[in-house]
């Protein structure tokens, strides 16, 4: 863990250490203080409700060093006190840094690093009341864009990601009896992109690969996806993208390896019907990392929709919906006794905001989430649902 922590510090220092040399800085600050109630604070079948207080800080900076080099820094710490949970006080962190540099008129370099300290998400885990499972995650990426001419360029990228859980029994491999949820992931991609119509239609073709290895001898998976795609600006207020292809993959479990090749799809759409309204949508299907400890991978289908609308200059509303369907084939499991399973996870959220003055906002938010699972012959996955409501004061400077 010490070695991985050092890698995080080195990666972030690539950008943060050079911030003192910036010739131009734009800094933004925001503080969001929330008082809320959650009727399922642990996201588990045995509901535990609690009132909570959360303080979320957003600090971002855009740094310009020269006409060839710029950087972005983003830091979001969250401090939360839960009256009826253990532990009562918890903190989370998100830190992101990105450096852009033009090596020449045709070659552009981007280095980014995202560090997160977070709590597990709602679709993870079997029906084992694994409360307070927090993890460290770091994602280091590097990319080169090489312009071949005015209409085409080649993209080359590589990255390294890891996750470490606070709970060592959950994160580390315990002689084949459990755990093994810590992982390392190496990824790379290569693409060719060409503008068919400048500022309107861009097509691409390429491949990307991932190798994920869980802690100990639990296993992991390897994938290589061949892709074609298009980025399309339909109108000045409507644009979208699509990627289709095929993933050649194999999943390694305890003592076995299975071919699990499958189709690949990613698409997104952004619309702004008016100056006051915006809508986004996305969907995808791919073989990806499992969101629970029983299976090493999952066939994942996801769809999401978000919308926001300014009713007046001071009052705005926003809403979001997401659905994740996960298919867990028994051959993906690191436990030979695990059955085929299906997992459905929905979230529905809404937020209203009133601008009191130039810098202060009052907000009211609601989030509903539900999980339903089914497994052939039983299984350890579990159903649950939860509601969360909060009243907040947001300061923007």
Question: What residue ranges define each of the domains in the chain, with the CATH number in brackets?
Answer: 2-396 (2.40.160)
Average pLDDT of every residue of the chain: 88
225 to 187, 189, 244, 285, 331: CA distances (angstroms): 11, 9, 9, 12, 20
Higher pLDDT, 338 or 205: 205
Confidence (pLDDT) at 380: 63
111 to 27, 140, 389: CA distances (angstroms): 21, 8, 38
Higher pLDDT, 245 or 169: 245
Structure tokens at 18: 């050079």
Percentage of residues of the chain with pLDDT beyond 90: 62
Closest CA to 370 of 351, 387, 393: 387
Per-residue pLDDT reduced to its tens digit, 90-113: 999 999 999 999 999 999 999 999
Q: Averaging pLDDT over each range in 28-32, 86-90, 131-135, 174-178, which range is the top one? A: 28-32
Helix/strand number for the chain, H first, E second: 2, 19
Bridge-partner residues for 143, per DSSP? 110, 157
- Confidence class for position 262, pLDDT limits 50, 70, 90: confident
- Confidence class for position 128, pLDDT limits 50, 70, 90: very low
Structure tokens at 381: 């996955």
> Is pLDDT above 80 for 154?
yes
Confidence (pLDDT) at 180: 84
**Cβ atoms 260, 332 nearer than 8 A:** yes
**Burial grade of 322 (CB within 10 A; 0-12, 13-18, 19 or more):** middle
Higher pLDDT, 353 or 171: 353
Confidence (pLDDT) at 10: 56
Helix ranges (H only) for 32-98 are none
Dist CA 105 CA 99 (whole Å): 17
288 membership: H or E segment, kind and range: strand 277-289
**Cβ atoms 100, 109 nearer than 8 A:** yes
Confidence (pLDDT) at 296: 87
- Confidence class for position 140, pLDDT limits 50, 70, 90: very high
Q: What is the mean pLDDT of residues 209-229?
A: 92
Q: Give the list of residues 6+ apart from residue 337 with CB closer than 8 angstroms, or none.
A: none
**Cβ atoms 70, 62 nearer than 8 A:** yes
What's 332's DSSP letter? G
- Confidence class for position 129, pLDDT limits 50, 70, 90: very low
Dist CA 203 CA 231 (whole Å): 6
Closest CA to 168 of 176, 179, 152, 154: 179
> Is pLDDT above 70 for 339?
yes
> Is pLDDT above 80 for 255?
no
- Confidence class for position 170, pLDDT limits 50, 70, 90: confident
> Is pLDDT above 90 for 202?
yes
> Is pLDDT above 50 for 1?
no
CB atoms within 10 A of CB 341: 26
Backbone angles phi, psi at 27, to 5 degrees: -115, 135
> Is pLDDT above 90 for 169?
no
Confidence (pLDDT) at 334: 79
Dist CA 19 CA 12 (whole Å): 11
Q: What is the mean pLDDT of residues 358-381?
A: 86
> Is pLDDT above 90 for 305?
yes
Q: Report helix, strand or coil for 98.
A: strand
Confidence (pLDDT) at 301: 95
Confidence (pLDDT) at 12: 57
The alpha carbon of residue 61 and the mean position of all alpha carbons in its chain are separated, in whole angstroms, by: 21
Higher pLDDT, 76 or 254: 76
Length of the chain as a residue count: 397
């Amino acid at each position: 863990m010490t070695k991985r922590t050092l890698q995080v510090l080195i990666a972030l220092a690539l950008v943060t250490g050079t911030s003192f040399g910036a010739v131009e800085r734009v800094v933004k600050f925001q503080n969001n203080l929330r008082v809320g109630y959650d009727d399922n604070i642990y996201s588990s079948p045995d509901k535990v409700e609690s009132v909570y207080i959360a303080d979320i800080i957003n600090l971002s900076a855009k740094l310009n060093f020269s006409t060839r080099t710029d950087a972005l820094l983003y830091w979001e710490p969250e401090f939360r006190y839960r009256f009826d949970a253990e532990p009562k006080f918890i903190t989370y962190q998100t830190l992101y840094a990105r450096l852009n540099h033009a090596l020449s008129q045709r070659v552009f370099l981007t280095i980014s690093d995202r560090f997160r300290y977070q709590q597990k998400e709602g679709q993870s885990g079997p029906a084992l009341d694994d409360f307070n499972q927090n993890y460290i995650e770091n994602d280091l990426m590097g990319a080169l864009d090489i312009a071949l001419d005015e209409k085409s360029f080649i993209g080359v990228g590589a990255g390294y990601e890891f996750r470490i859980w606070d709970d060592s029994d959950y994160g580390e491999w315990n002689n084949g009896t459990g755990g093994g949820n810590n992982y390392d992931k190496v990824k790379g991609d290569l693409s060719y992109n060409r503008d068919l119509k400048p500022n309107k239609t861009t097509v691409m073709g390429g491949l990307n690969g991932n190798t994920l290895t869980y802690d100990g001898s639990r296993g992991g998976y390897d994938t290589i996806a061949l892709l074609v795609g298009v980025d399309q600006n339909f109108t000045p207020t409507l644009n979208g993208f699509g990627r289709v292809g095929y993933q050649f993959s194999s999943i390694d479990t305890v003592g076995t390896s299975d071919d699990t090749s499958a189709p690949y799809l990613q698409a997104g759409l952004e619309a702004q019907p008016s100056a006051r309204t915006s809508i986004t949508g996305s969907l995808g299907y791919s073989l990806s990392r499992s969101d629970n400890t029983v299976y090493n991978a999952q066939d994942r289908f996801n769809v999401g929709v978000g919308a926001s609308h300014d009713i007046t200059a001071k009052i705005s509303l926003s809403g979001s919906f997401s659905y994740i369907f996960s298919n867990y084939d028994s051959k993906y499991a690191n436990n030979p006794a695990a059955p085929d399973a299906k997992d459905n996870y929905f979230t529905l959220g809404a937020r209203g905001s009133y601008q009191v003055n130039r810098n202060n906002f009052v907000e009211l938010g609601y989030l509903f989430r539900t999980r339903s699972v089914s497994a052939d012959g039983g299984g350890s996955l579990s159903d649950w649902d939860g509601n969360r409501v909060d009243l907040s004061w947001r300061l923007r400077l």
